């Protein structure tokens, strides 16, 4: 690619487990890395045999993580959302380690209408759960995000990506500010983060970016998550119909955010075909 735009660091599970043991005296057994994800997670086992999930977040302070994502996931759990309990949270050198409950079920491979209805119901459960103590989410439509939603990669990738960035920044100028609202927002609400067993959603995982704002962002995220997948007939159309009902001042900033987020990530981490994949969906609702 010939640019200086970097990739995101990934979990080195052995080193993280060793540092956790040094900091808090807890030695976790490592079973192996979890499939999927962009930064990484691992299955671990406690001394008593319980299995859990170890996650690692570089460049994050535990205090801010507790005030943000951990507060969000606990509010969601109290509202009845099947989200994992936090079993251990440790400040490391330049990062944090989180050990979470291992929930039952497997990631959804093909979303059908029944599972979509459950996902929409979970989204409704997130409404109005948070107070002003939880930080609001930023959409980064006018400035770079912290390691994601970078503008420069789109500007330099080519004319098509640059046109998309022009649109994103214009939307950001028309609708400035953070994501308004007091909803719990998952931020990465796609089928790979929804666990299911016997046609029932049993878990919503990976709340690491969660914050306060408008829960409808998660429905736009879900729409992006279905792009190029193979959901059951009618699922994409039903979700599009839900999004079609949103007013422009709600949908446009949310769509711009996901367009920027996915295209930037593809430019920096994947092949050109992946960039075209996200540009095609992004352009579906640009003007």
DSSP string covering 174-230, please? HS-SS--SSEEE-S--SGGGEEEETTEEEEE---TT-EEE-THHHHHHHHHHHTTS-
Per cent of the chain over pLDDT 90 is 90
User: If 0-12 CB within 10 Å is exposed, 13-18 middle and 19+ buried, where does residue 33 land?
Assistant: middle
- Tell me: do 150 and 80 sit in the same domain: no
- Tell me: do 94 and 225 sit in the same domain: no
Extended strands (E) in 35-168: 41-45, 51-58, 86-92, 95-101, 106-107
Q: How confident is the model at residue 238 (pLDDT cuts 50, 70, 90)?
A: very high
- Domain with 66 in it: 13-101
Buried/exposed code over 113-134 (b: 16+ C-beta within 10 A; e: otherwise): eebbebbeebbeebeebbeeeb
Nearest Cα to Cα of residue 217 among 271, 174, 259: 259
Domain of 71, CATH number, reads 3.30.200.20
- Residue after which a domain boundary falls, among 76, 101, 126: 101
- Tell me: do 113 and 94 sit in the same domain: no
Q: Please determine, for residue 214, whether its predicted confidence score (pLDDT) is greater than 50.
A: yes
- Tell me: do 117 and 84 sit in the same domain: no
- Tell me: do 69 and 120 sit in the same domain: no
Contact between 164 and 282 under an 8 Å Cβ cutoff? The reply is yes
- Tell me: do 197 and 59 sit in the same domain: no
| Cβ within 8 Å of residue 86, ≥6 positions away | 70, 73, 74, 98, 99, 100, 101
Residue 37's pLDDT is what?
Answer: 54
Residue 287's pLDDT is what?
Answer: 84
Per cent of the chain over pLDDT 70 is 95
Provide the domain count of the chain. 2
Summarize the confidence of residues 233-246 as an average pLDDT: 98
Mean pLDDT across the chain: 95
Instruction: Name the 3-class secondary structure at 258.
Output: helix
Summarize the confidence of residues 211-219 as an average pLDDT: 99
Whole-model pTM: value is 0.93
Q: Which residue has the tokens 């900033």?
A: 253
- Tell me: do 137 and 192 sit in the same domain: yes
Q: Please determine, for residue 1, whether its predicted confidence score (pLDDT) is greater than 50.
A: no
Q: Is residue 3 part of a domain?
A: no
- List the structure tokens of 195: 């666990």
- Tell me: do 115 and 176 sit in the same domain: yes
d(CA 270, CA 275): 7
Q: How confident is the model at residue 271 (pLDDT cuts 50, 70, 90)?
A: very high
Domain of 213, CATH number, reads 3.90.1200.10
- Tell me: do 58 and 182 sit in the same domain: no
- Residue after which a domain boundary falls, among 101, 125, 145: 101
Q: Is residue 160 part of a domain?
A: yes
Q: Is residue 214 part of a domain?
A: yes
Q: Is residue 2 part of a domain?
A: no
- Residue after which a domain boundary falls, among 101, 135, 170: 101
Query: 140-154 pLDDT, tens per residue?
Result: 999 999 999 999 999
- Tell me: do 151 and 35 sit in the same domain: no
Q: Please determine, for residue 176, whether its predicted confidence score (pLDDT) is greater than 70.
A: yes
- Tell me: do 205 and 94 sit in the same domain: no
Q: Is residue 4 part of a domain?
A: no
Summarize the confidence of residues 201-221 as an average pLDDT: 98
Residue 2's pLDDT is what?
Answer: 41
- Tell me: do 92 and 111 sit in the same domain: no
């Amino acid at each position: 690619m010939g640019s200086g735009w970097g990739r995101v660091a990934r979990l080195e599970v052995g080193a993280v487990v060793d540092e956790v043991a040094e900091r808090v005296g807890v030695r976790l057994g490592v079973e192996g890395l979890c499939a999927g994800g962009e930064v990484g997670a691992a299955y671990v086992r406690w001394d008593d045999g319980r299995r859990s999930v170890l996650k690692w977040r570089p460049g994050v302070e535990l205090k801010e993580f507790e005030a943000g994502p951990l507060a969000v996931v606990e509010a969601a759990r109290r509202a009845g959302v099947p989200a994992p309990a936090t079993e251990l949270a440790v400040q490391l050198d330049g990062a944090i380690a989180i050990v979470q409950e291992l929930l039952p079920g497997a990631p959804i491979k093909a979303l059908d209408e029944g599972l979509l209805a459950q996902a929409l119901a979970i989204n409704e459960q997130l409404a109005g759960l948070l107070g002003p103590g939880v930080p609001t989410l930023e959409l980064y439509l006018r400035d770079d995000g912290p390691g994601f939603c970078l503008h420069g990669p789109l500007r330099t990738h080519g004319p098509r990506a640059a046109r998309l960035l022009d649109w994103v920044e214009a939307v950001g100028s028309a609708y400035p500010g953070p994501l308004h609202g007091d909803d719990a927002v998952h931020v990465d609400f796609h089928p790979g983060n929804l666990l299911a067993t016997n046609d029932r959603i049993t878990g919503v995982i990976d709340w690491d970016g969660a914050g306060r704002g408008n829960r409808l962002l998660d429905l736009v995220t879900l729409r992006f998550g279905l792009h190029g997948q193979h959901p059951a007939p009618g699922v994409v159309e039903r979700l599009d119909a839900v999004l079609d009902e949103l007013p422009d001042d709600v949908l446009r900033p949310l769509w711009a955010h996901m367009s920027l987020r996915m295209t930037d990530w593809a430019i920096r981490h994947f092949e050109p075909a992946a960039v075209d994949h996200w540009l095609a969906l992004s352009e579906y609702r640009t003007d």
